[in-house]
Amino acid sequence: MTALLDVRDLHKHFGALAAVAGVSVAVAEREVVGVIGSNGAGKTTFVNMVTGYLPPSRGTITFRGRDITGRPPRQVTGLGIARSFQVPQVFASASVLDNLLVAIGIAEEGRLPIWTPLRRRQRVARALATLESYGIAGYASQPASLLPQGVRKLLDIAMATVRGPELLLLDEPTSGISVGEKFAIMDTIMAALRAQRTTVLFIEHDMEIVDRYAERVIAFADGVIIADGPPQAVIDDPEVRRLVVGERVKVAE
């Protein structure tokens, strides 16, 4: 079986600093992978390179057997890889509905979407249905700048999924969300993604979330992968405990 995403020997240097120093990983179709690692371990840089925001200093990224190394985000997006952001990237002055409509409009139309009205009826229905599946349809007419953090995160993810990506990279989907809400929000996200049969790779600091939703966990430290396997095995790994999990597990227990 060939992997959906195959990353080989990926490096990223910022001057003398190696943010990612030789990462090789393969993700199979329909897998749900959690990525853990302390701040500065290279997780977001890894996602930035896979989605084309940063060109790698060395290494290759293959998606569905096709080399996508160094392609810009819009091409990577077009090929079926989407991502969400640690800080939600939404159109702040537009309404939630318009945010999603723009995403759908771009996905549905070609290179010059200059004629069909954005707010055509079927499209609005589709947008509302998507918002419904993320449980935020009630906010449809609110400007995105006024949303609570959790809703903004969901909108960010909803916008990333309108193309029906095969691979979705989530950068800390629960950061900035209160402890009380985070499981409900992750349930919503995962249910929506399962319905679309999306392969998911998510970065997460919260070990409870990782343990509960990931089928496989990859641990980053200092720009390399130090453990890769089933969640509990990785979280219990002494090296991972020392470098990544640290005190957190005690809090969780």
Partner 1 sequence: MTTTVAILVDGAVYASWLFLVALGLTLTFGVMKILNIAHGSFYAIGAYAAASAVGAYVQAGLSPAGGYLVMAGAAAIAGVVVGYGLERGLLRFMYGRDAVLVLLVTYAVFLILDDVMLLIWGANPYIAYQPDMLLGTSTVFTLPYPNYDLSLIAVAAVIGSGLWWALSRTRRGKMLLTVIHDREMSTFLGIDVAKVFTVTFTLGAVLGALGGALTAPIISVQPGIGAEVIVLAFAVVVIGGMGSIVGAAVGSLAAGFAHAAAVHLFPQAELFVIYALMSLVLIVRPQGLFGQAQPRKI
Partner 2 sequence: MSRDRTLPGLAVATLVLLGVAAAAPGWMVFTLVVSLAQGLVVLGLMVLWRAGLMSFGQSLYYAVGGYTVGLINIQFGLSNALLLVLAAPAVAGLLAFLLGFLLARYRDIFFSMLTLAFAMILYGVLVKSSTLGSTDGFSILTPSFLGPHPGPDATQRLLTGLAALIALLAAALVHRYLKSTAGHLATAIRDNEIRVEYLGYSVHRAIHVKYVLAGILAGAGGAIVAMAIGHIDPEMAYWTTAGEFVFVAILAGAGSVAAPFLGAILFVVLRTYAAQYTPHLWHMVLGGTLLLFIVFLPDGVWSLFERACRPLKRRAPS
**Residues in touch with partner 1 (CB under 8 A):** 48, 53, 85-87, 89
Residue 111 near which of partner 2, partner 1, none (CB within 5-8 Å, type-dependent): partner 2
Task: Tell me if 51 contacts partner 2 by CB under 8 A.
Answer: yes
Task: Tell me if 48 contacts partner 2 by CB under 8 A.
Answer: no
Contact 47, 18 (CB under 8 A): no
Give the total of residues touching partner 2 (CB under 8 A). 36
* Other residues' Cβ atoms within 10 Å of the Cβ of residue 175: 15
Least separation in angstroms between CB 57 and partner 1:
16
66: tokens are 């096709």
Among the listed residues 18, 21, 28, 102, the single contact to partner 2 using CB under 8 A: 102
Q: Which residue has tokens 């960010």? A: 156
Amino acid in the structure at residue 160: A
Stretch that binds partner 2, among 22-30, 69-77, 178-186, 196-204 (CB under 8 A): 69-77
Q: Which residue has tokens 């349809």? A: 137
Task: Tell me if 159 contacts partner 2 by CB under 8 A.
Answer: yes
3-state secondary structure of 173: coil
Residue 48 near which of partner 2, partner 1, none (CB within 5-8 Å, type-dependent): partner 1
13: tokens are 């240097």
Among the listed residues 21, 28, 107, 128, the single contact to partner 2 using CB under 8 A: 107
Backbone phi, psi, residue 250, to 5°: -60, -40
N-terminal to C-terminal alpha carbon distance within the chain: 38
> Within a 13 Å sphere around the CA of 233, how many CA atoms are in the beta-carbon half?
9
- Which residues would be at the binding site for partner 2 (CB under 8 A)? 51, 53, 72-74, 77-78, 82-83, 89-94, 98, 101-103, 105-107, 109, 111-119, 159-160, 162-163
